[in-house]
Every structure is written in C-alpha cells, then in structure tokens.
Structure 1
Amino acid sequence: MNTSKGSNLNRVFLARLAGTAVFDPNGDQLGKVRDAVATLRSNNQPPRILGFIVEVPPRKRIFIPITRVTSIDNGHVIITGLLNMRRFEPRTNEISVLSEMLDRSVTLIETNEKVTVEDVGMELSKTGDWFIEKVHVMRRGIGLRRRGASSTLTWGEISGFTINETNQGVSNLLGTLSNLRAADLASVLHDLTIKRRVEVARALDDERLADVLEEMNEASRVELLAELEGERAADVLEEMDPDDAADLLREVGQEKAQALLALMEPEDAEGVQRLMHYEDYSAGGMMTTEPIVLTADSTVAEALSRVRLSEVAPGLASQVFVCRQPLETPTGRLMGVVYIQRLLREPPATLLGSILDSDIAPLSAETTLSEVSSYLASYNLLAVPIVDANERLLGAVTVDDVLDHLLPENWRQDETKRKESESR
C-alpha cells in the first residue's frame, strides 16, 4: 500500500478522524469516516487495521479496505478502486475501534493503574501496514468526577482490551457522534452491539434519545426501550411525538405499555393513550395531537412566534389551525386554517380570523392511509386536520407521518443488498 505517498501523516488518531470526508481520485466526495475495523493479535501485539467504516448516502455504512486508501491527511481521506456497497457486517475476531475501544477501562502493565481510553493512534509500518501503536489515556483524578492527567502510551504498555467490561463509558464515543442528526445516530446505534447500544442510550439526554428512537426500526427500538429503567423509559416517551410514542407502546405489549403509561405525566399519557385506540394505518393512528392551534382573535405575530419554535416539525409549522376554545386537543370547533405563506404576507397585528381558509375539508380519524395520502397530494398540503363528528380538532397528519407508513417496514435499513460482493 502506498498511503504515505499521498500523505505526510504516518500516525493518525482515529477519534479525530471520525467524520472526515472520503474522496475518490477525481475529488468527488463519497462519504464520511465513521469508524475503523481492526483485528486483535496474540501476545498483546498491536492490532492490525483492516479498513474504515464509511457512511455513504443514504445513511449506509460500508467497509473500505485500508489497501484502497491512498492518502490520509487533515480534513480528507482519498481512496481508489471500486466500492463494495454491501452494508458492513463485522466478522469474527474483528472489532470496530471507536465503538468498542473508546472509554474502555484498561490497566497500565508497569504500575497496575486503571486508566480510561480517550483515543487510539494507528501508525504506518515499514511494510505499508497500519497498526494501533498508540493509546491516549486519561488517568483517574483524585476525588469524585475529577479528571486526571492525560498521556499517550504504546500499545505494549497497556493490557485489558480483551476483557469483557460490563459498564463501559461512552463520553469519548459520543464525542465522535455529537454532530450527527438523529436519523444518522440511529443508523450508528443499529450497528453497535446491544451492550454498547444500551450504554450510549443511557448517556443521551431524554430529548436526544427520543429523537433517535423515532428514527429506529421497530425491533431495535423495542429492544432498546426494554433495557431502560421504567422511570427513564417513561421520561423518554414523554419527549417523543405522541404518535411515535403511541406506535412504540403498541409494539412493547399491553402489560408493559400500561406500566409505562402509569409512570408518565397524566397529561402526556392521556394524549398517547388516546392515539393507541386508533388503527395504526388510519388517520387517527398516524396523527399528532400537538399541532399549532390558535383562536380567531390571535394575531399574525402570535402565529409566527409559534411557527418559529425549534421543536415544531416542518410539516406542522406549515400551517396554523384556528379553533374555538379550548385549544388543547380535542379542541373546540375547527374554524379554518392559516398557511405560513399568508402569515408572511400580512401585517403583524392582523387577526387570524380575517385571513383564515375556511374551505378546508378536514378528515375523520377513521380515514384510511390511502385516502389521507391522496388528499395531501391532491391539495399539495404538508398537513391535514383530523376532526371528530362535532368538528373538534383531534390532531393533524403530516406528510412525514404518511411516508413512514407508506414505506416498507425495513426502509431505515438497506434498500437493497448486492448478491455478489467483493472479499475484503
């Protein structure tokens, strides 16, 4: 391999390499480095780097052999040759370096001191192979949560990487994932072992974990929720969109669902439980119970302030539903809708009642998926109101809700897999 010809770097710390863009020889970006694959060797010899795990659109993680890498430099990795687009699957005796090594508790051979791994460095040998030769560690400080001194040691000065650790930390691993969107982080978690997946999930805050669960496939999120303590699981469900929380609770079984609902705040539990009574592929089963709702005497300025809130999904931010009191779903009678384009054209003091579209035809909670999708397509809408028999607003179905139900169940995983694959 001639990596050194295209680069002045003969030592690369892998946590710093995470997220680096990968280019082909023509300068076209192919994806980003997410991890490295290595194999442990006997007699505590430095592990050999086999290649990189690279994320390519759409959120697929593939393996690129290190022999295909022609240059590693600050800000980019250049590769050559054809790509094998089969989804990466680890083989026996292979490890994902960042996922499995970072935050491990290991032992200094000379002093028997316990230290924590913060990064690992691979070095280019005279034979053109890359090995993990350096380990950057943090010594444990005196006192609770005190950080000790950091230092870079050789692989031979450390032991303990082959010992199964029951409660491995995740702070350094999360550092390599901090800039990922929820959907991308969900894809990364899917490729981790269940042990590491749970450790990462427990370290995420409730809102971030809720966003990630909404992007995971059914089996993975049920498995992950089962590993969380009851109170924590309930807190995360409260942060999820009500329709997604209802979908997840349908999947965990009635007994488990009722136990979690009992731990949730009554107001949150009530909205989720209401959605659970609807068929999954009906408008009621797809809708969210938290659209933007205002009265006719609310102003354009008030409506725009609600639309601007970062926690409001784009589909819901496209329109404001004007209803009679009360404004919590189920509301008073739905009077009409004001679209964001109209809000942007009107003076701030304009009352919503004077500019609302009252010709909108709401749908019932029993409307089928096919009918909802046809309705949205026919009228070029991003969301549609769902009402009861008395025209009280129950919620809204957005385009992304419909897409989630129209796509195959495993759409978050690989769309296709090649029958023929290259050997690594």
Structure 2
Amino acid sequence: MSTPTRIYIARLAGVAVFDPNGDQVGRVRDAVARLRATKRPPEVVGLVAEMPMRRRIFLSINRITSVDADAVVLGSGTLNLRRFEKRPNELLVLQELLDRRVQLDPGGQPGAVVDVAMECTRGGEWSLTRVAVREQTGRLSRRGHLHQVEWDRVRGLSGIADNRGTANLLAVLEDMRPADLANALQDLPDTRRNEVAAALDDERLADVLSELPEHDQVEILAALDRERAADVLEEMDPDDAADLLNELPLPEQDVLLDLMEPDEADPVRQLLKYTPGTAGSVMTSEPVILPPDATVAEALARIREPQLSPAVAAQVFVTRAPQNTPTGRYLGMVHFQALLREPPADLLGKVVVNDIDPLRPTTPLPEITRRMATYDLVAMPVIDRSNRLVGAVTVDDVLDHSLPRDWRDRDALTISGGTDTGSDGADG
C-alpha cells in the first residue's frame, strides 16, 4: 500500500474512493476496527464507504492500494456491494469514539476525543495507535490543550460511553448533503442520533428531517422540546412539515401548530386539510410566483435564490395580485429556459404560456404522474375553483409519494441475489 504510515481517520471522512480504472465508487464514511482480547490496540480491518443510493459497504484494508487525505484507491478484484453491518467485536471509529469522554494517564486529566490515528506496522497490519484528546478546562471562553497520545494512555475508550458532546462528530458531518447526513444519522444508536440531531441548527435539522424515514422523523421531533420542534417545523417546506405532522396524533399536531408563527402555520394547516394521495396533499404552497408586469430579469433573479430547490426554481408561475397562495387569477407559467431566451426587459405577461390545463387539489396522484410524464414537466400548477393558484406539484413531490413508503429507510434496501454482510464478508 502506497500511503503514509500514520493517518488520522477523521481526515478521511468524505474522501472519494476510486477503483483501479480511476472511476469513483463512493466516499469514505468510517473505519472499522476489530477489538482484541489482549491489551493491544484494535486492529483496523477496513473502511466503510457510502455508495450511490445510500448503501454502505465494507472495503477490506487488504483491497486498498493507497490512502491519503485526497483519495482512497482500490486494487483489482470484484467489489462486494452487500450492505455493511458491524460485527459484535468491531468498532466504528468515528461513530463510536469521536466526542467520547476519556481520561489521560497519568493524572486522570479529563478530555474528549477529537480524532484517532491508525498506523501501519512493518508487517502490513494497521492498528489504532494514537488518540487526539482535547482537555476539558471548564472554561467556556477557553479551549483546552490538545494532546496526541498513545492508545494505551487513554482510559475510557472501551465500553458504553457516558453522555458526550457532538462538536467533533458534527465537524466530520458538516459538509455532507442533507440526504447523506440523514443516512449517517440512521447508522447511529437512537440516543446518539437524537443528540446529534438536536445539536444541528434549525435550518440544517429541517433539511435533514425531510430526508429521513417517517419513524425517524417522529422520534427525533419527539426528543426535542416542543418550542424547538415548532421552530424546526417553521424551517421546513410547508408540504414536508405537513407530511411530518400527519404522522403525529391530532392533539400533538394542534399543540405544535399553535406554537408556530401564524404565517408559518397557516399554509401547513391548509395542506393538512387535503385528502392524502391528491395534488393538494403533495403540492408545495410556496412556488415562485410573480405578476405579469414583472420583467424577465426580475424572474431570473428570483429563481437564482439559493434556498429554492431545482424543481421549484425551474419555472415561474404568473398570477394577478395577490401573489401569496391562494393568489389572484392564475395566468400561466414560464419555464426558466424560456426566460433565458427572452430580452431581460420584456414583461412576463408577454412570454407566459397557459396551454396545459392546471391540476385541481383533488387530482389523484396517478393522474398527476401521467400528465407530468406526458408533457415532460418538472412542475404543474394547482388551482382552485376560482382559478386561483394554491400551489404547485413538483417532480420530487411525485417521486416521494410514488415510491414505497419506506424508500428512505436504509434497513429496507436490499440487493437482489445477495445477503447483507459485515466486515467478515468477502471483498474480492
């Protein structure tokens, strides 16, 4: 293996994994170490890599030809795509050791683990040899000294961890997309998952909740105090907040809605009134809406706003005032490609199209899917009987409600013809 002889594992989190042909096959998410019966440090047996479709697989350390902070390269052989499951005698280094409360010998100085190094012996065996520990000073304004010490000088690395912080694990997870972070949270024990989720800011947690299975959403929300839960719901898109609230008992729904700001709660209450499986129940009530006298330049500036999802930003809906749903009379829509072809000073009323019949709130999901596929649309308007725009159904809404209910749950993912395996499974 062409690689440094000592590597701090937190620095590998998110590093791309490449096959011998130079094609990326995933990203590193953790390292797997095997505990020993003796006092020797745990042996590193491989890495956990995350593949497309959120599947985590085991990469044997013997299959890796080089590893550093820029890339992990695999040698030749067949890649085992069976889902990784940890064995009872194994340790997931980042998941289980970061932020763990420990004591340094001699003297028993308390601290928290911020990183762990693996090191290669002359015989080619990798072990966890050093631990980076930051002292706990008890002073909020001062960070404790950072020690890098041998594994056997740290007490508290084995056994069940006491209540611990989240700062170092969050630092490792910081750059993940919400869907990938949601996937990582599913790997954590329930208590640890709830701790990490609670440490996220409201906006980040809202994005992550939208990517989790319903049962995980409910459990994380229940672990928050009600005021914090209401704040997080306010940060969610109204349709996602409505979907989550639909999983709760009616009395709890009412309590949380009452704690939300009225202007944030009102669109969620409206969505909760629609029958499940209809356009009204899956639509977003906050599409991009502009008046006919807005210019093309104004429309382009609006869809460039970073908080808009690609599906929502793909088109502008044109209505009479008011522009908040339910709007004034619906006039039509303009796709962003059409905006790019028009002079910036032209008015939207000049380029709007209305040759496709809008959806009604009662339109069933199969009909929505058929019409969006027929016209190659990424979004369709939803209007009421008074021809007012009440929302828009986007392609991600359709996919989310057309896939099996447990599609976000990693435990439900399987690969045909194989069984799940831990690090003892063949890897080439």
How high is the TM-score relative to the length of structure 2? 0.93
Number of aligned pairs? Answer: 419
Q: Does the 8 Å contact 1:296/1:323 carry over to 2?
A: yes
Cα distance, 1:150–1:242 mapped onto 2, change above 3 Å? same
User: For residues 247 and 69 of structure 2, what CA distance do their matches in structure 1 show?
Assistant: 45
Give how far 1:363 is off. Answer: 1.1
Match of 2:390, SS?
strand
CA deviation vs aligned residue, 1:82-105 (integer Å, no higher than 9, x gap): 222121122223221101101111
Q: Who is 1:14 aligned against?
A: 9
CA RMSD of aligned residues (A): 1.9
Q: Who is 1:54 aligned against?
A: 49
Question: 2:321 matched to 1:325?
Answer: yes
Q: Who is 1:419 aligned against?
A: 418
Give how far 1:364 is off. Answer: 0.6
Q: For 1:10-409, what aligned pairs fall within 5 Å after superposition?
A: 10-42=5-37, 44-80=39-75, 81-141=77-137, 143-409=139-405
Match of 2:144, SS?
strand
Give how far 1:163 is off. Answer: 4.7
User: For residues 354 and 11 of structure 1, what CA distance do their matches in structure 2 show?
Assistant: 65
Match of 1:363, SS?
coil
User: For residues 321 and 114 of structure 2, what CA distance do their matches in structure 1 show?
Assistant: 55
User: For residues 337 and 210 of structure 1, what CA distance do their matches in structure 2 show?
Assistant: 29
User: For residues 147 and 386 of structure 1, what CA distance do their matches in structure 2 show?
Assistant: 54
Instruction: Give the residue type in structure 2 aligned to 1:402.
Output: V
Q: Does the 8 Å contact 2:319/2:329 carry over to 1?
A: yes
CA deviation vs aligned residue, 1:206-225 (integer Å, no higher than 9, x gap): 11111111111122212221
Instruction: Give the residue type in structure 1 aligned to 2:81.
Output: M
How high is the TM-score relative to the length of structure 1? 0.93
User: For residues 134 and 31 of structure 1, what CA distance do their matches in structure 2 show?
Assistant: 27
Cα distance, 1:358–1:67 mapped onto 2, change above 3 Å? closer
CA deviation vs aligned residue, 1:102-140 (integer Å, no higher than 9, x gap): 111100121111011111011123443221110011123
User: For residues 416 and 176 of structure 2, what CA distance do their matches in structure 1 show?
Assistant: 24
Instruction: Give the residue type in structure 1 aligned to 2:262.
Output: P
Q: Percent of aligned pairs with the same residue?
A: 51
Cα distance, 1:315–1:421 mapped onto 2, change above 3 Å? closer
User: Structure 1: which 4+ aligned runs deviate by more than 4 Å?
Assistant: none
CA deviation vs aligned residue, 1:282-339 (integer Å, no higher than 9, x gap): 1001000001111122222222221111111111212211112221111111122122
Q: Does the 8 Å contact 2:101/2:162 carry over to 1?
A: no
CA deviation vs aligned residue, 1:151-207 (integer Å, no higher than 9, x gap): 210011110123534432222112222221111111111111112211211121111
Match of 2:247, SS?
helix
Gaps of 5+ in 2: none
Instruction: Give the residue type in structure 2 aligned to 1:86.
Output: R
Cα distance, 1:344–1:8 mapped onto 2, change above 3 Å? closer
Q: Does the 8 Å contact 1:337/1:360 carry over to 2?
A: no
Q: Does the 8 Å contact 1:7/1:73 carry over to 2?
A: no
User: For residues 181 and 416 of structure 2, what CA distance do their matches in structure 1 show?
Assistant: 21
Q: Does the 8 Å contact 2:85/2:420 carry over to 1?
A: no
